[in-house]
Amino acid sequence: MKATDMNKPDNRAAAESSAITPRARDYSQWYLDVIKAAGLAEHSAVRGCMVVRPHGYAIWEKMQRELDDRFKATGHENAYFPLFIPLSFFSREEKHASGFAKECAVVTHHRLKAIDGEIVPDPESKLEEPLVVRPTSEMIIWSQYKNWIQSYRDLPLLINQWANVVRWEMRTRLFLRTAEFLWQEGHTAHATEKEALEETWRMLDVYADFAENVMAVPVIKGRKTEGERFAGAVETLSIEGMMQDGKALQMGTSHYLGQNFSKGADVKFQNKDGELEFVYATSWGVSTRLVGALIMTHSDDSGLVLPPRLAPVQTVVVPIFKNDAERARTVDEARKVAAELKALGVAVRVDDRDGIMPGAKYYEWEGKGVPLRIEVGPKDLEKGSLCVARRFVTEIAGEAPEAQRRRRKAFLPRAEAIASIVPTLEAMQKELFARAGAARASRTRVLDKIEDYGKFFGEEGGGFAWVHWAGDSAQEEEMAKRFETSIRCVPFEDQIPPEARGEGSCILTGKPSKQRVLMAKSY
């Protein structure tokens, strides 16, 4: 949408142009506005690629650390494999290769040359075998595992890689889908199917734990239908989150690969009985898409809202002063407060920049999603108090923004204020999770009639729908065309709310169905 009317060249409109589009008006625009206001990322001049700015990267680093701890705790180690995959390796697993074929960047030359004054790939430097820039690393990793695995004693092999991958997507969206993105991919090898399946389920649980307890995003765990499965996988599990516009976002996947890839790469091991057997495999990954999920789950019309556990700055301290003497005293106090908070384990930053009005700093830090702000002014020095302001308060319908602002600021005695920071951050973490859960619940329906289904995803704006399903792949596609919805997953039984459990009949075909599936529009 191009808001030409909004941008008349007068002062007011120009000042407003830096404001964030309300979520209710245009969710896509709001999403981009938040990313810009928070300084997370921007489009690169390189087609379809994203530049992650420091604040965005700092959030990703926090995610990395939390995830990495969990991977280590479950026995995994990090390693690194090449960016380039020889085409012959890539094509060893047929379904995998054809699944990714349409979105691969391919390197064909290794040298440039000036021809007619123009620098072009040197025709004489053409590679004998093209190199595929990894869209995922199964094949390059398994070709290496062949050398690493001979005996059951070499198993399980539990490796994770932090890397970038390239998928030549037609249409891109910051964080959610870009030509190049950052991720982690785990690739494990096991002696038995049972063990590999356990690993697949275990890592999905790790992702769900991370999503809910760190990102404060409630997710639904389940398995993908055949049509949505990872190319080459026997089973794909995923966690699905609901964004504020009611759409589902796949936040992480864990695949059971069976022996497909070990056969493709010819990786056998000798078991205890001395017999040769193909290895059982899993792979699992999450990407910088999670940053997009974070934005679309918690943020508001003032900008980014970060769960404290992922906030690079959890508390910002802003000194307020009118002259040099006040400046010296308030900055000094701000630094003392910061040091005390740091000792309590709080990520804290003092914003003592001169020449910027305090209000401007508040807007800036709110836009960046900092959970708590402490203001230190001359009055606080006199009274021995501090002003603590929260990034969000529980919304009260109809309350004016000005009233909300007052309600979320509190002047507290100094010691009390400092002691309140850690518990407040913890409470905010919990509140975000609870809020997201409530938002999801309010947009979730249990539906039995196809008319209700159409109405829900039409005029009612959609969300998650629990419906019985017994259709085939073609009928799945019909649902996609008719309602722009898809089966997000076939949930594990404990993921289905009580009111949606039990057997029934398919919403489209009327055929008997054992359990309901999760339907939604998706990103």
Residue ranges in contact with RNA by CB under 7 A: 2, 4, 7-9, 11, 14-15, 17-19, 43, 47-48, 95, 98-100, 102-103, 167, 169-171, 177, 224, 227-231, 236, 250, 253, 302, 320-323, 327, 354-360, 362-364, 366-367, 375-381, 387, 389, 405, 408-409, 411
Q: Which is nearer to RNA, 303 or 504 (CB)?
A: 303
Q: What is the DSSP string of 177-242?
A: B-SEEEEEEEEEEESSHHHHHHHHHHHHHHHHHHHHHTS---EEEEE--GGGS-TT-SEEEEEEEE
Select from 146, 147, 149, 182 the least CA-distant residue to 167. 182
Q: How far apart are the two ends of the chain, measured CA to CA in Å?
A: 19
Q: Least distance from C-beta 144 to RNA, angstroms?
A: 22
Q: Least distance from C-beta 153 to RNA, angstroms?
A: 33
**Which distant-in-sequence residues (6+ apart) come within 8 Å of 434 by Cβ?**
none
> Exposed/middle/buried for 68, CB within 10 Å: 0-12, 13-18, 19+?
middle
Question: Where are the strands (E) in 64-125, listed by range?
Answer: 77-78, 84-86, 106-109, 112-115, 118-121
Partners of 86 in the beta sheet? 131
CA 300, CA 308: separation in Å to the nearest integer?
16
Q: Which is nearer to RNA, 34 or 447 (CB)?
A: 34
288-327: b (≥16 Cβ within 10 Å) or e: bbbbbbbbbbbbbebbbbbbbbbbbbbbbbbbbbeeeeee
Q: Least distance from C-beta 165 to RNA, angstroms?
A: 11
Q: Which is nearer to RNA, 94 or 460 (CB)?
A: 94
Q: Least distance from C-beta 454 to RNA, angstroms?
A: 18
Q: Least distance from C-beta 300 to RNA, angstroms?
A: 12
> Exposed/middle/buried for 409, CB within 10 Å: 0-12, 13-18, 19+?
middle
Q: Least distance from C-beta 158 to RNA, angstroms?
A: 23
Q: Which is nearer to RNA, 95 or 146 (CB)?
A: 95
Q: Which is nearer to RNA, 18 or 78 (CB)?
A: 18
Q: Which is nearer to RNA, 158 or 517 (CB)?
A: 517
> Are 458 and 505 contacting, i.e. CB atoms less than 8 angstroms apart?
no
Q: Which is nearer to RNA, 230 or 269 (CB)?
A: 230
**CB neighbourhood size of 372 (10 A):** 24
Q: Which is nearer to RNA, 102 or 194 (CB)?
A: 102
Q: Least distance from C-beta 394 to RNA, angstroms?
A: 16
Q: Which is nearer to RNA, 389 or 447 (CB)?
A: 389
CA 88, CA 65: separation in Å to the nearest integer?
35
Q: Which is nearer to RNA, 245 or 364 (CB)?
A: 364
> Are 76 and 69 contacting, i.e. CB atoms less than 8 angstroms apart?
no
Q: Least distance from C-beta 449 to RNA, angstroms?
A: 26
Q: DSSP character for 154?
A: G
> Are 319 and 334 contacting, i.e. CB atoms less than 8 angstroms apart?
yes
Phi/psi at 423 (5° precision): -60, -35
Q: Least distance from C-beta 517 to RNA, angstroms?
A: 14
Q: Least distance from C-beta 280 to RNA, angstroms?
A: 20
**CB neighbourhood size of 216 (10 A):** 26
Select from 409, 403, 350, 358 the least CA-distant residue to 385. 409
Q: Least distance from C-beta 323 to RNA, angstroms?
A: 7
- Which tokens belong to 183? 């991720």
Local structure of 401: helix, strand or coil: helix
**CB neighbourhood size of 332 (10 A):** 14
